[in-house]
Structure formats: C-alpha cells, structure tokens
Amino acid sequence: MLYVSVLSHAFAQNLPDTFTYTDRSRYIFELEQGNKLIARATDLAGLQKFQNIDSTLALFLKDYKMIKSNFSESVNGKTVVYRKLKNGQFQLNFTEHQSKGQRFQFSPNNAEPLLIKTVQDTLLIVHSYQKPFRVKDEERLIEEEVYFCFILNNIDDVETLLKNGTANAHIQMAMKDVKNYPHHNLQKTGYRFDMNYKQNSGTPTFKAVESFKSPFLAFHQTFGVGVFRNQLVPNSQTELAFIPSKYHNVGYTLGWRSMFFTERNDQTNNWRTLSNGVLQVGFTFYDFKRNQPRRVDAGHVLFGAYLGRVMTRNGGIFEPNTWNLSMTVAARGIVKVQPEVYFNGFFKNAMPGIRVQMGF
C-alpha cells in the first residue's frame, strides 16, 4: 500500500530549469497537506491573462487520465510539464525522479506495513503570449511566459484542487492584494517581487520588492603584476562599478590602482619600495549568468576600457600630468589581461605596458 506523507519537510523535489528564472515576480501559496502552488509572471497583466488556471487543470486531468495507465504507482517523484503549443494543442512531458530510499511505517496491531512516499510530484503549467515591447520609436512583440507550478504529495491531488477551486481562489486573492499594495504601484511592469501566503492566512508577506532594473554597485578587488620600463611592477587595484540594471551588462567604473616600484639608493646601497597611485574611470562589459537568463554576472568581465591619471608620485618615476589608458582584453576565471599605455599631455612620450590581474 502506498502511503502519501503530509509532512512537507520530508520531500525533496527539483524544479524544472525553466522555473528558476528570477526576472519574474513570484507568488507562493502554501496549501493543505503540505502541497504548494508557485506562480511566476513578469507583471500582473500576465498573471491576470491566465488567472482561470482551473480551466487548464481540467484539460490537464482529461489528458493525463488518457495516459495514466502507462505509469506504475511507485515512491518515485514525477515532474509533468503541461504546455499549450502555438497550434492550440497541448504537450505533456513526463519525467520520473528516482527515490533515494524507501521508508516504511509499522502499526502496533501488526497491520500491513505502509510504504511512505518521500519525493513530491511537480506539475508545471506553462502559458505563453505575445506582449508589446517598445524599442526607441518601434513597437515589437516579444514572447512572454507565465508559469504555474504545483508541488504535490501526489499528482492525483490535482483533482481535489480542481473540485475545491483552490487555485483560482488563491490567484484572484493575490491579484487583489497586489493592487492594494500601499508603497508602490506593483501593477506597473517595472517591479519584481515575491509574495508568500501561509496556509489558512489571508494576509500575504511581501519580500524583495524591487525595481525590475534594480541598479546596483559591484566591488572588485584585484592584485597583479605588470611590465613597465623593463621592470616587474606589482600592484593592487580597487574598483567600484555602478551598473544601472541587473539585466544590462555595462557598468561605469571608478577605481584606484597602487603600483609598487623598487629603487636602489646609490649612497646607502639599500633597496626601497615606492608607491605610485592612479585614479581611473571607465566602463566595463559583463557577461550574463547562464543559469539565470538575461541577468548580469558582475563577477565575469568581458571587456573594459579605462582612462586614469597618476595622482600620487614617488621617486620621479612618472612626470607631472601623466595619464594612463588601459583595457581588459581577455578574462578567464579570476585572471584578466590588461594592456596599457602611459603618456603626458596629448599622447606625448607614450610608454606601453601590460598587466596580469587576479581577483574578482
């Protein structure tokens, strides 16, 4: 006999990769018996477009019952992706997750042992639609998707949810609460947020309410060694980059580089270290995170260009009004290659160099 546990902490279910996108708002509803509904949509208009999720659940149950006999009952978890295609038909993809172990429950009256399911089932419903998007003076249509993810003790619990109208009621309650949010107009496209409904609670908890662009600062600390005037020159570099949007890959950088030269005193025959500092500004292009589509990865630099000025001079290494032009032309992991040139005035007395930096 298969027994379905109601203890949600006993389950471990991997969500489909398409459900990990963080550029959409997330609505989380804790249902009865440890079940859960998670909806993701870019904006409220997208969620509202498919608010009658019960109608899709009814279609799913009809299609699922036609193929249910092909699956054997087991303690393994199931992931079912139900997607409407452009031709109006529905596609059902089924994946089974192997349970790592088995758990039995025994009764004192010597009844038959109960086999407890330890992995939840997942039903992911994907709706797509065309959304207008303006680029400068041109309006285009882009493909948007709205996700409804049901994490269930058993996939057959969908029938109970449909009979009770649970999903529709929760989605409609969420849309009402979003419209009544007091601090921002969350109905606009420019906001992303998480909202969570505990079981039997009519009041949501809002978390991570932020602008869709969400500008932020990225801090970089690197150490390296360069070649300048046939001398190896260690350096340390600190940069602060302002990135206007976490979904764009350009940052505007302000940095300070300390360069350490060694010089021998002819009178005392001793060596000493001289520090020279460069203040620089520029821009940096970053890569996007592969597991989070369209979100910038400020730890992975693709290219950068920087203009600096020598601000602190020691030892007469640099003349007054010395400038520096440098670029990041190659980066792999924490290693960056940066050719550079120092010059006075308008590219007078140019002195080339190159640095290899390590750090983030």
What's the token pair of residue 155?
Answer: 């996939």
Say if residue 20 is in the same domain as residue 168.
Answer: yes
Q: Write down the pLDDT at residue 62.
A: 92
Strand partners for 139: 134
Domain final residue, candidates 211, 240, 261: 211
Domain residues for 317?
216-359
Task: Give 23's pLDDT tier (boundaries 50, 70, 90).
Answer: low
Q: Write down the pLDDT at residue 6.
A: 38
Q: How far are the Cα atoms of 10, 113, 123, 213 from residue 77, in angstroms, in the given order?
A: 13, 20, 11, 37
Say if residue 220 is in the same domain as residue 337.
Answer: yes
Q: Write down the pLDDT at residue 132.
A: 77
- Angle (CA) 202-49-17 rounded to 5° is 80
* Number of domains observed in the structure of the chain: 2
Say if residue 251 is in the same domain as residue 135.
Answer: no
Say if residue 192 is in the same domain as residue 259.
Answer: no
Beta strand pairing call for 90-97 and 335-344: unpaired
pLDDT, one tens digit per residue, over 192-251 is 788 889 887 778 888 767 665 667 788 889 999 999 888 899 999 999 999 887 767 889
pLDDT, one tens digit per residue, over 249-281 is 889 999 999 999 988 776 777 888 889 999 999
Say if residue 99 is in the same domain as residue 243.
Answer: no
Domain final residue, candidates 211, 245, 279: 211
Q: Write down the pLDDT at residue 289.
A: 66
Say if residue 58 is in the same domain as residue 191.
Answer: yes
Residue predicted with more confidence, 280 or 316: 280
Say if residue 310 is in the same domain as residue 286.
Answer: yes
Say if residue 206 is in the same domain as residue 228.
Answer: no
| Range of lowest pLDDT (13-17, 172-176, 205-209, 234-238) | 13-17
What's the token pair of residue 203?
Answer: 């009041």
Of 332, 233, 341, 336, nearest to 280 by C-alpha is 341
| Range of lowest pLDDT (134-138, 213-217, 311-315) | 134-138
Say if residue 268 is in the same domain as residue 190.
Answer: no
- Angle (CA) 191-81-186 rounded to 5° is 10
Say if residue 261 is in the same domain as residue 300.
Answer: yes
Q: Identify the CATH number of the domain in which residue 334 sits.
A: 2.40.160
23-32, 71-80, 160-169, 261-270: which is most confident: 160-169
